Structure 1
Amino acid sequence: MSPSGTQVELRHGDYTAVVTEAGATLRTLHHGQRPLVVGFDVDEIRPAHRGAVLAPWPNRIADGRYEFAGQARQLPLTEPDRRNALHGLVTWVRWDVVTESAAAVELAHRLVPQPYYPHPLDLRVHYQLDEAGLHWTVSATNTGNGPAPYGTAPHPYLVAGDGRVDEWSLELPATEYLEVTPDRLLPVGRAPVDGSAFDFRAARTIGDTFVDHAFTALSADDRGTAQVRVLAADGRGVACTWDAANCPWVQIHTADRPGEAGHRVGLAVEPMTCPPDAFNSGVDLVVMAPGETHRATWTISAL
């Protein structure tokens, strides 16, 4: 048995993908022979959160503490070095395969109430390949009797081509970013990208820039769609596209892990429904009423 559990292979045209039971993770995604995400081996424990689903919050909650509906809660510190609760509660749980076809799969997980998150959720993840690429949808239904705080995001590391992040160009349609503390990467406040090292509104080479920041004030097309494009020197690349109103934030991370094999081998692009520490700030936090369902979709495409 693979450490990541059941492996579901998907195929449509030139696109192929493998989705795993553990974490409802996107393990691989290819267009022809070209990888579009940083994958991992079938016999390997997933490195960190590579390809995982983040819910019921993305990113960080400071000290794992928050208050909701008048009750203070303490989450496990899953990023202990920075004293944060990181990336939700379902990245390492098993998901059940509900439906499966040649080009699509849906997985489900029922999140039980816990002292630090006492809200039962029916979570679904749907992957669909078609000519446009991979459509990745996360939905959550509040099956409890009271309101539930919620946020979500995916965690793919996009691959533009050969080499590392430094050699690729990034096009990111955001006019603001969150300044963060250098030690814990917690938000300090919004700042304009204009004049900063994080202005990628026009595609330019990433170089040695370190990025692990949330971006917002996204420019969208006439359909309300935002798109991040990562391009290699030969002009090929990969794009991530989503509804900017549904996910008004995107975390970009250059995967800096000096001394490790995964150092800057992919660019994390994580469209988020809310910014870091939203359980405390309340900024763009989704609050689901009993019986309410929230959905978010992202598409990864070859360029």
Structure 2
Amino acid sequence: MPWPPSHDMKKMRRTVIISKAHFGTLADGTGVDVWTVSCGPLVLKALSYGGTVQSLEVPDRHGRSANIALGYDSIERYVAGTTYFGALIGRYGNRIADGRFTLDGMTYQLPVNNGPNSLHGGDRGFDKRVWDIEPYAKGEDTGLTLRYVSEDGEQGYPGRLTVKVDYILTRDAQWRIDYAATTDKPTLANFTQHTYFNLTGAASGAAVHDHELRLAASRYTPVDADLIPTGELAPVDGTPFDFRAGKALGHDIRDSQQLLNAHGIDHNFVLDKGITAAPEPIARFTDGTSGRTLTVSTTEPGVQLYTGNFLDGSGYRQGAGFAFETQHFPDSPNRPAFPSTVLRPGQTYRTSTVYAFGVF
């Protein structure tokens, strides 16, 4: 798919700044920090709790910056929340049926926290853990390095998993996320990032249904009533899931049983490019109101598009943001035909995703 260029933001430069401040305190007395990274035209704020992106400031077509990431202003709301606003997700992004999988002849039971299923690593996944954070700098790029060790048996997963995630900002308005992990026992690894974007602005009150998406995915994974893939890789032709030529997110949002199951779009798309060694462009979002664009590149074979269907008005209403979670497929441990999410000792899990911002 050709990707039409956006006007760049190189003229909208800021001094590179990294700072840290106290954000709040957990019930056990653990302090939570908020880190602010300013590089080029972007300003990102991330919490040590959950590796959570609290805000991301991006200029519009007139050079006016606004936060485009949904978030909260207190640690208490993040602790109580179930929306995963801005969070790092693991050990397993998305759903595992019945919270159960078998690996090398052993069956493992995970916490069930989404109907009958385990979602996003369980009820205390990476999003509910405190990460060690330090500044990242390489050439003109800057950002944060986040580290966490998930102990053997945590949330039912085998193996001691050592995780490193880099949030990297570039002067040409890109946010790159590099994930890496190693294990001492066979386990699962499928990480993602759960920022909800609203290119008009998180405080605008506008729904994202008018955002236009062009997505290089000819197939998707249909789901059952519990939002678990059926195992089919179905063509998008003639369905509401066909974004190949570009259309508004809300254009067909109630036009199939699949969309009724999920109250909108909450589906994994099978990317035409497959798994790649370096990030390749897969999607572009445009917002006519602000003129902002978002182009997404990834090494991953799939992406979950979620249109904020279950936001309940406690802070943000339904459709106030969309999540675009690059990933391996949901329930892969129970679907041998899907790309494997098994990580073994001696291997290093590596994936990368780039969110590139522009204007038109």
Instruction: Verify same fold: TM over 0.5.
Output: yes
**Paired position in structure 2 for 1:276:** 330
**Partner secondary structure for residue 38 of structure 1:** coil
1:227-270 CA distances to partner (integer Å, 9 max, x unpaired)?
A: 32221124723424233xx3100000110136523310111101
1:35-81 CA distances to partner (integer Å, 9 max, x unpaired)?
A: 332233245523421111122211000110111110111101122xx
**Paired position in structure 2 for 1:225:** 280
**Paired position in structure 2 for 1:187:** 229
TM-score of the aligned structures, taking structure 2 as reference length = 0.76
Deviation (angstroms), 1:149: 2.4
Identity of counterpart residues, as a percentage?
A: 26
Q: Indicate which of 67, 89, 92 corresponds to 1:57.
A: 92
Residue 188 of structure 2 is aligned to residue 134 of structure 1: no
Distance 1:259 1:67, change over 3 A: closer
Distance 1:3 1:155, change over 3 A: farther
Question: Unmatched 5+ residue regions in structure 1?
Answer: none
Deviation (angstroms), 1:153: 1.5
1:71-120 CA distances to partner (integer Å, 9 max, x unpaired)?
A: 111101122xx211111231101111144569311111111001721211
Q: CA RMSD in A?
A: 2.3
Consecutive aligned runs of 4 or more in structure 1 exceeding 3 Å deviation: 98-103
Distance 1:268 1:258, change over 3 A: closer
Distance 1:289 1:257, change over 3 A: closer
**Paired position in structure 2 for 1:76:** 111
Distance in 2 of aligned mates of 1:224 and 1:128: 14
Residue 212 of structure 2 is aligned to residue 178 of structure 1: no
Distance in 1 of aligned mates of 2:102 and 2:237: 35
Distance in 2 of aligned mates of 1:114 and 1:121: 10
Residue 68 of structure 2 is aligned to residue 41 of structure 1: no
Q: Indicate which of 191, 209, 217 corresponds to 1:166.
A: 209
Q: Indicate which of 251, 275, 293 corresponds to 2:304.
A: 251
Structure with a larger share of its residues in strand? 1
Residue 56 of structure 2 is aligned to residue 16 of structure 1: no
Contact 1:211-1:252 at 8 Å conserved across structures: yes
Distance in 1 of aligned mates of 2:104 and 2:222: 28
Contact 1:36-1:238 at 8 Å conserved across structures: no
Distance in 1 of aligned mates of 2:311 and 2:135: 40
**Partner secondary structure for residue 94 of structure 1:** coil
Aligned length: 294
Deviation (angstroms), 1:174: 0.6
Residue 119 of structure 2 is aligned to residue 86 of structure 1: yes
Residue 274 of structure 2 is aligned to residue 242 of structure 1: no
1:155-174 CA distances to partner (integer Å, 9 max, x unpaired)?
A: 12122215212222111111
Q: Indicate which of 43, 56, 71 corresponds to 1:29.
A: 56
Deviation (angstroms), 1:3: 5.6
1:263 corresponds to which letter in structure 2?
Answer: Q
Question: Unmatched 5+ residue regions in structure 2?
Answer: 1-22, 27-31, 60-64, 254-263
**Paired position in structure 2 for 1:198:** 241
Distance in 2 of aligned mates of 1:175 and 1:199: 7
Contact 1:3-1:42 at 8 Å conserved across structures: no
**Paired position in structure 1 for 2:164:** 124
Q: Indicate which of 8, 11, 24 corresponds to 1:2.
A: 24
Residue 192 of structure 2 is aligned to residue 153 of structure 1: yes
1:36 corresponds to which letter in structure 2?
Answer: I
**Paired position in structure 1 for 2:131:** 95
Q: Indicate which of 315, 326, 343 corresponds to 1:288.
A: 343
Q: Indicate which of 212, 220, 242 corresponds to 2:266.
A: 212
Contact 2:332-2:340 at 8 Å conserved across structures: yes
2:227 corresponds to which letter in structure 1?
Answer: L
1:216 corresponds to which letter in structure 2?
Answer: V
Contact 1:187-1:276 at 8 Å conserved across structures: yes
Contact 1:60-1:84 at 8 Å conserved across structures: yes
- More divergent stretch after superposition (89-98 vs 159-168): 159-168
TM-score of the aligned structures, taking structure 1 as reference length = 0.89
Distance in 2 of aligned mates of 1:239 and 1:44: 30
Contact 2:136-2:168 at 8 Å conserved across structures: no
